[in-house]
Chains A and B, each alone.
Chain A
């Protein structure tokens, strides 16, 4: 079994997919940076940024539903920002008595909380569009183009290449455990043994996964040697930068820059 479902790339024939990966990579980072720098409570800017990312989602053919569903998974972290509603002092919005304590929510606190949640939601959508519309080798090229050291890029490439193989191994280990140690099928039923015993089994599985990885890397090394590996990590030269790519990059950066200036000028 091969775990292609892990790969978030979705093939579509869209202008977003066809765009140079370097342009997409830089624009995604610029979009996230813009969202991060946008002042608290600059609602029109947030709405414009949301309009931009929604249009890109529609243009890419991925569909808004797909991106929103995936972005919802990453949003549980928002709980971490919830306390600011009550800890920032300002105009009282409502009070919430909990036992002996009284929590006072402020308008300023709520504005900050909503801003953080929006920034996070916008950023994760941009990252999802990048990952879903760009093949990993192209992403790797983009990273090399922005100056990631070659050894690190080679690590990313190797990890990606063997990720699916090792996830397969891990799933085989889990299937073997499920078959042998009596996993309960009803909800709430305990699987066998004490917690320490279960932890030891899981640990043994992790150990054997690492051992298999060590042994596999020996075989990979020998295979690389037989193909002329001499310790130097080599990669294909980057493809030339087209005029269309340059234009989209400049237009995208200029637009995000304008949005940012607009936001800081009026709400900063």
Chain B
């Protein structure tokens, strides 16, 4: 019944190297500042109370869980549904508010690590949700099934990709080796994502029946959304490709660091970005299978999207 403070996606302080934390703080601060400007420009004054109350609703909505099996439960994280209801810019602000208050008041995620958590959940989560949502929404051409299919996929992808980002951050910080962190985080969140997807569809079904106007079906996308769409695509592809690569060749991270000349500066602890991982005799076929699964899903989704686009263009030409 009580709010549970432990979620595997919220990285606490101490687990990220100072450099990774600060770089991600800067990236998140720039993204949030830009989103704030866009929200201020595009949206009416009515939006301020709406965003604040929805942030509270997402926080409270995380309590609404359902039992899956053996003590595990599915529950809502919210990036996808916030994106669908409010559009990408306001969703970034809402998720920033939720994640910041969780860290500040409930110690759910660290304060120095907050930049990284904001990046994973408010930036990557929202951009990927938006990318998946609008891509398939266009294909559904305003039909209602689109909303549900897309809601589930957006929720699932946003969580899985965000967890890959978290795993890579841990690996870059030298806290958890990539070939363990990526499959573990990815694998857990592929399951959590199913719960999130199911709840998101349930919520969209309810809203579609009660207030279809809130879902903006068939409305034109707001200006500047193409940039978010592209950003979501790029983030999803980079993270989906990079993390299995890092996982399969953990020394690859070190190789990149060497090429960048990081290693020369990585002597002092202040710049200890990439430590030495060596894996004596660990042949983890199970992990490799999970990674292969992630790659497979991404490829299948890409192919499906491509085919659907071709199908869609044919009648118009």
B225 to chain A, nearest CB (A): 21
Choose the segment among A12-20, A30-38, A56-64, A247-255 that binds chain B (4+ C-beta atoms closer than 8 Å): A30-38
A163–B176 CB distance below 8 A? no
Bound-state CA distance A124–B5 (Å) is 12
- Chain A residues with CB under 8 Å of B305's CB are none
Q: How many A-B contacts are there with CB distance less than 8 Å?
A: 308
B13–A120 CB distance below 8 A? yes
Nearest neighbor of A224 in chain B, beta-carbon distance = B49
Bitwise, B201-228 to A at CB < 8 A (1) or not (0) is 1111111001100100000000000000
A35-B13, A89-B278 are known contacts. Are A214 and B211 too (CB-CB below 8 A)? yes
A4 to chain B, nearest CB (A): 13
Bitwise, A149-192 to B at CB < 8 A (1) or not (0) is 10110111111111101110111011000000000000000110
Chain B interface bracket (under 10, 10 to 19, 20 to 34, 35 or more): 35 or more
Is A133 interfacial (CB-CB < 8 Å)? no
A158-B53, A204-B202 are known contacts. Are A268 and B269 too (CB-CB below 8 A)? yes
- Chain A residues with CB under 8 Å of B281's CB are 101-102
Is A195 interfacial (CB-CB < 8 Å)? yes
Choose the segment among B127-135, B192-200, B294-302 that binds chain A (4+ C-beta atoms closer than 8 Å): B192-200
A70 to chain B, nearest CB (A): 7
Is B101 interfacial (CB-CB < 8 Å)? yes
Chain A interface bracket (under 10, 10 to 19, 20 to 34, 35 or more): 35 or more
Bound-state CA distance A151–B214 (Å) is 23
| Residues 227-268 of A at the B interface (beta carbon under 8 Å) | 229-231, 233, 264, 267-268
Bound-state CA distance A33–B201 (Å) is 41
Tell which of B101, B110, B199 touches A124, judged by Cβ atoms closer than 8 Å.
B110
Choose the segment among B68-76, B138-146, B231-239 that binds chain A (4+ C-beta atoms closer than 8 Å): B68-76
Bound-state CA distance A233–B254 (Å) is 48
Nearest neighbor of A36 in chain B, beta-carbon distance = B18
- Chain A residues with CB under 8 Å of B68's CB are 195
- Chain A residues with CB under 8 Å of B269's CB are 37, 39-40, 264, 267-268
Is B93 interfacial (CB-CB < 8 Å)? yes
A83–B111 CB distance below 8 A? no
B64–A220 CB distance below 8 A? no
A29-B112, A158-B52 are known contacts. Are A206 and B107 too (CB-CB below 8 A)? no
Tell which of B101, B201, B283 touches A160, judged by Cβ atoms closer than 8 Å.
B101
Bound-state CA distance A185–B94 (Å) is 36
Is A93 interfacial (CB-CB < 8 Å)? no
| Residues 1-59 of B at the A interface (beta carbon under 8 Å) | 1, 3, 5-6, 8, 11-18, 21, 32-33, 36, 39-40, 44-46, 48-57, 59
Tell which of A112, A165, A200, A217 touches B174, judged by Cβ atoms closer than 8 Å.
A112
Q: Name, among B203, B268, B270, B275, the residue most crowded by chain A CB atoms within 10 Å (CB to CB).
A: B203
Bound-state CA distance A104–B278 (Å) is 11
Is A94 interfacial (CB-CB < 8 Å)? no
Is B106 interfacial (CB-CB < 8 Å)? yes
Nearest neighbor of A159 in chain B, beta-carbon distance = B55
B56–A87 CB distance below 8 A? no
A120–B97 CB distance below 8 A? no
Bitwise, A82-94 to B at CB < 8 A (1) or not (0) is 0110011100000
Bound-state CA distance A207–B199 (Å) is 9
Nearest neighbor of B198 in chain A, beta-carbon distance = A199
Is A43 interfacial (CB-CB < 8 Å)? no
Bound-state CA distance A71–B5 (Å) is 10
Is B273 interfacial (CB-CB < 8 Å)? no
B207–A210 CB distance below 8 A? yes
B175–A169 CB distance below 8 A? no
Is B177 interfacial (CB-CB < 8 Å)? yes
A77-B15, A84-B174 are known contacts. Are A154 and B198 too (CB-CB below 8 A)? no
Bound-state CA distance A209–B36 (Å) is 25
Tell which of A74, A152, A158, A224 touches B6, judged by Cβ atoms closer than 8 Å.
A74
Is B303 interfacial (CB-CB < 8 Å)? no
B60–A208 CB distance below 8 A? no
Nearest neighbor of B283 in chain A, beta-carbon distance = A101
Is A123 interfacial (CB-CB < 8 Å)? yes
- 18 inter-chain pairs at a CB distance below 8 angstroms, sorted by A residue, are A29-B111, A80-B15, A119-B14, A123-B110, A156-B97, A166-B59, A167-B63, A171-B63, A174-B64, A201-B66, A201-B202, A202-B74, A203-B205, A206-B200, A206-B206, A210-B203, A213-B56, A233-B48
Counting from the closest, the 4 A-B pairs by CB-CB distance are A203-B202, A158-B52, A207-B206, A120-B14
Residues of B within 8 A of A (CB): 1, 3, 5-6, 8, 11-18, 21, 32-33, 36, 39-40, 44-46, 48-57, 59-61, 63-69, 74-76, 81, 85, 93-94, 96-98, 100-101, 103-108, 110-112, 170, 174-177, 180-181, 184, 195, 198-207, 210-211, 214, 268-270, 275-283
